[in-house]
Amino acid sequence: MNCCPPDSSTILDFKPLTSNNGLRVRRAAHSVDENYKRKYSNATYLMKNLPINHPWNFMQQANVHCAYCDGAYNQSDHPNIKFEVHFSWLFFAFHRAYLYFYEKILGKLIEDETFALPFWNWDSPEGMTIPAMYTDKSTSLYDELRDASTQPPTITDLNYHPNKPKANLSNLIERNLRFMHRQMMSGGRTAELFLGQPFRSGNEPFQGAGSLELAPHANMHRWTGNHSTSLDMGSFGAAARDPIFFAHHSQIDRLWEVWKGLPGGRRENFNDDDWLDSAFLFWDEDLKLVRIRVRDVLDTRKLGYVYEEVPIQWLDMKPELEELTESMIIPVSSFPATVSNSLVSFNASRSVEKRMVAEEVVVLDGIEFDSSSQVKFDVYISSPAKSSYSVFAGTFGNLPAGHRRIRTRMKVGLSDALKELGAEESETIVVIIKPVSTDVMVTIGAIWIDFSA
């Protein structure tokens, strides 16, 4: 698809706000009133009806995501290497900047500087269905390319994949909350575990995604979009063609703010100039092309907005131990190893010297697959002392994006999982890979225990 944006010879540097007066408030999508719904629908309608080559046109705005997220750009200093923001430490900052300019343009179109995007609070039980404003076929917020089976009152599965057996609705909400706990708490105890791996000039893309980007972020794209066609929310390139994309990513942005206030670990943003000085270009609400850096978006108040506070119900919902009932788990003793339709396990040794003073992680390196596939596998941890039990530790997932071979890595936080297993003193742990997308071939280059920065 062609997702090249309009060009400009003049680029201005972004200037953050110097005052916190009159902050916009992003509210939970399930609780907004009818007046807000009409206002938001009207703003989107006006955006969709602009000339197709206008920088504010809805399709042009959707193409911004396509350009940065689906291989449209090469690195200027390394023209043979792609530049992409997913699966790296640029994921959160890029999407925050993207939503900021999109929100300001919508406000400009309806002449309302107080307008703020909603967030789809799918981490709360009351938000685990598609918000009603997006299901009204008479409004500009509806997208006919969503999966028909996920319309309300269907409850989302935050660890969803189309090949995964459907969960019993009676315990799905509880499972969602336990899943959120793992991805936000023990899965994100450091910046690289939560925000993703460094992606520097000259690096190949897909250095490694953080816990929340892998899931529920990717899962909610798959659940909302039509997985059989991989259109709109179901693919990287077309995801922003569905207006619900912006509520989904407003929630992702909100959870970045929530993460910084959670207990345990070192939950601070990177302090690395390669990250802080990374920059993106956007058309603003004054039709100027603006360069905005990561350091410009670290404080939402300097961007003029805050989030409505809603109850966080997953804080104490730790995943439960599970009995290992599978009849066959194939042990892996050498790499690379192939994961397709069978569980595989690997015995990983731990460092006695470091494990008490550093954040311990499992590294799955050299994960390779075809980017057009929908890949998903879950990671469980067990120990020789409790070989009949395991605990869920993390999950890997992607969205389809063209046809090319992707190579990436994954880091999974171990601290809480080991406590839950009672395996904190074990010299060896068992890493179990449970494939969910059983029709997809995935190669893993190596697995080892390391420590997170």
DSSP string, 67-82: HHHTT-EEETTEEEEE
Q: Exactly one of 14, 30, 65, 161 is catalytic; which is it?
A: 65
What is the distance between the alpha carbons of residues 411 and 403, in angstroms, rounded to a whole number? 25
The amino acid present at 93, given as its one-letter code, is A
User: Fold match between 12-307 and 322-452?
Assistant: no
Q: Exactly one of 30, 161, 221, 227 is catalytic; which is it?
A: 221
What is the distance between the alpha carbons of residues 371 and 86, in angstroms, rounded to a whole number? 13
Quote the distance between the C-alpha of residue 153 and its chain's center.
Answer: 24
Neighbours of 30 (CB within 10 A): 20
- Look at residue 329 in the predicted model and tell me its pLDDT: 86
Q: Which CATH number does the domain 322-452 belong to among 2.60.120, 1.20.20, 3.90.320, 2.60.40?
A: 2.60.120
What is the distance between the alpha carbons of residues 428 and 446, in angstroms, rounded to a whole number? 16
What is the distance between the alpha carbons of residues 70 and 3, in angstroms, rounded to a whole number? 9
Structure tokens at 47: 């955006």
- Look at residue 385 in the predicted model and tell me its pLDDT: 75
> In the annotation, is 282 catalytic?
no
Superfamily of domain 12-307: Di-copper center containing domain from catechol oxidase (1.10.1280.10)
What is the distance between the alpha carbons of residues 451 and 449, in angstroms, rounded to a whole number? 7
Q: Where are the beta strands (DSSP E) in 129-266?
A: none
What is the distance between the alpha carbons of residues 122 and 220, in angstroms, rounded to a whole number? 9
- Look at residue 353 in the predicted model and tell me its pLDDT: 63
The amino acid present at 152, given as its one-letter code, is P
> In the annotation, is 403 catalytic?
no
Q: Exactly one of 181, 227, 248, 249 is catalytic; which is it?
A: 249
> In the annotation, is 30 catalytic?
no
Q: Exactly one of 236, 280, 346, 392 is catalytic; which is it?
A: 236
Extents of the domains making up the chain: 12-307, 322-452
Q: Exactly one of 30, 86, 161, 181 is catalytic; which is it?
A: 86
Pair 209, 196: CB distance under 8 Å? yes
> In the annotation, is 249 catalytic?
yes
Task: Kindly report the pTM of this predicted structure.
Answer: 0.95
Instruction: Identify the bridge partners of residue 218 per DSSP, sorted by sequence position.
Output: none
H or E stretch including 37?
Answer: helix 34-48
> In the annotation, is 95 catalytic?
yes
Tens-level pLDDT at each residue, the chain (453 residues): 677 776 777 999 999 887 777 899 999 999 999 999 999 999 999 999 999 999 999 999 999 999 998 778 899 899 999 999 999 999 999 999 999 999 999 999 999 999 999 999 999 999 999 999 999 999 999 999 998 888 888 999 999 887 777 767 778 999 999 999 999 998 999 999 999 999 999 999 999 999 999 999 999 998 998 766 668 898 888 999 999 999 999 999 999 999 999 998 899 999 999 999 999 999 999 999 999 999 999 999 999 999 999 999 999 999 888 887 776 788 898 999 998 888 899 999 987 665 556 789 999 999 999 988 888 999 999 988 777 889 999 999 988 877 788 999 999 999 899 989 988 888 899 999 999 877 788 999 999 999 876
Pair 239, 220: CB distance under 8 Å? no
What is the distance between the alpha carbons of residues 57 and 278, in angstroms, rounded to a whole number? 26
